[in-house]
Amino acid sequence: MTSAIPGQSTIRRGLWLIVLSLIALAGIYVLALQHTPIEARQGLAQKIFYLHVPAAWSALLSFGLVGIVSVLYLWLQDPRLDLFAASSVEVGLVFSMVMLTTGPIWAKPIWGTWWTWDPRLTLTLLLFFIFVGYLSLRAALSDRSERARFSAVIGIMGLLLVPFIHLSVYLFRTMHPTPIVLKPSAPSLPPVMLRTVLLSFGVATLLYIAFVMVRYGMAIGQYTREEADDAT
């Protein structure tokens, strides 16, 4: 008999959304590779931009939400907030991996080096390790409330880095290009490239939502089972 475990419907809906998002991602590949012009100065390597920047957006969205939700957790002590934060961290690390691999692949032909200890790159790597530490800490602590409290503190520390990373290209001398889409003035891209990048942002956001739905549904189910085990 099927029992009504919390999170079950969220998982199912999330799995369908993942399928839709991956189809949309395939559409972005076709759009970027076949229907978006080649930038004259950077050549085909510029098309990495359509994967790298949306992944960076979703990574910073994930970690930004983790920080906000962590503040709320410390205030409200609702375990669902902690479970959402942990889910968002795992998904954020996936987007960070895309950002941290596509960045160097673009940098090699354009800058002539895979990596440089530039403020934007270094802070992003630091943020990645903070959240790897977040998941390691959660795995090491068995007490649920202690785990949630300590995790929330790390989540808030990560949040403090997010605006620094976005603004680092203005605050420090850096090789990293300044934003050409997410900036106060109008985007400085030809309309056909802007269309592709905006659609890529949409797909990256959809992927984030789909991944988090499944991960959160699983976390809720596991939490409910642990609670039931503790009660018996």
Partner 1 sequence: MPPDATPQNGQYMVAAYVVTGAIYLLYALSLWIRARRALRGSDK
How far is it, in rounded angstroms, from Cα 79 to Cα 98? 30
CB of 213 to partner 1, least distance (A): 10
Taking residue 227's Cβ as centre, other Cβ atoms within 10 Å add up to 11
CB of 19 to partner 1, least distance (A): 8
Which amino acid makes up residue 161?
L
- Give Cα 155 distance to the centre of its chain: 13
Decide: is 35 part of the binding site for partner 1 (CB under 8 A). no
Decide: is 132 part of the binding site for partner 1 (CB under 8 A). no
Decide: is 15 part of the binding site for partner 1 (CB under 8 A). yes
Decide: is 41 part of the binding site for partner 1 (CB under 8 A). yes
Segment interacting with partner 1 (CB under 8 A) among 22-30, 65-73, 130-138, 141-149: 22-30
Measured from the CB atom, is 12 or 183 closer to partner 1?
A: 12
From 51, 122, 138, 124, select the one nearest 88 (Cα to Cα). 138
Crossing angle of helices 119-140 and 144-171, rounded to 10°: 180
Decide: is 30 part of the binding site for partner 1 (CB under 8 A). no
Decide: is 138 part of the binding site for partner 1 (CB under 8 A). no
Site string for partner 1, 99-128 (x = CB under 8 A): --xx--xx-xx-------------------
> Among residues 23, 30, 38, 182, which is the contact residue for partner 1, using CB under 8 A?
38
Which token pair is 218? 């699983």
Measured from the CB atom, is 105 or 182 closer to partner 1?
A: 105
Measured from the CB atom, is 52 or 138 closer to partner 1?
A: 52
> Among residues 13, 24, 31, 45, which is the contact residue for partner 1, using CB under 8 A?
45
How far is it, in rounded angstroms, from Cα 232 to Cα 229? 5
Measured from the CB atom, is 155 or 217 closer to partner 1?
A: 217
Positions touching partner 1 (CB under 8 A) are 2-3, 5, 7-8, 11-12, 14-15, 18, 22, 25, 29, 33, 38, 40-45, 47-48, 51-52, 55, 94, 97-98, 101-102, 105-106, 108-109, 207, 211, 214-215, 217-218, 221-222, 225
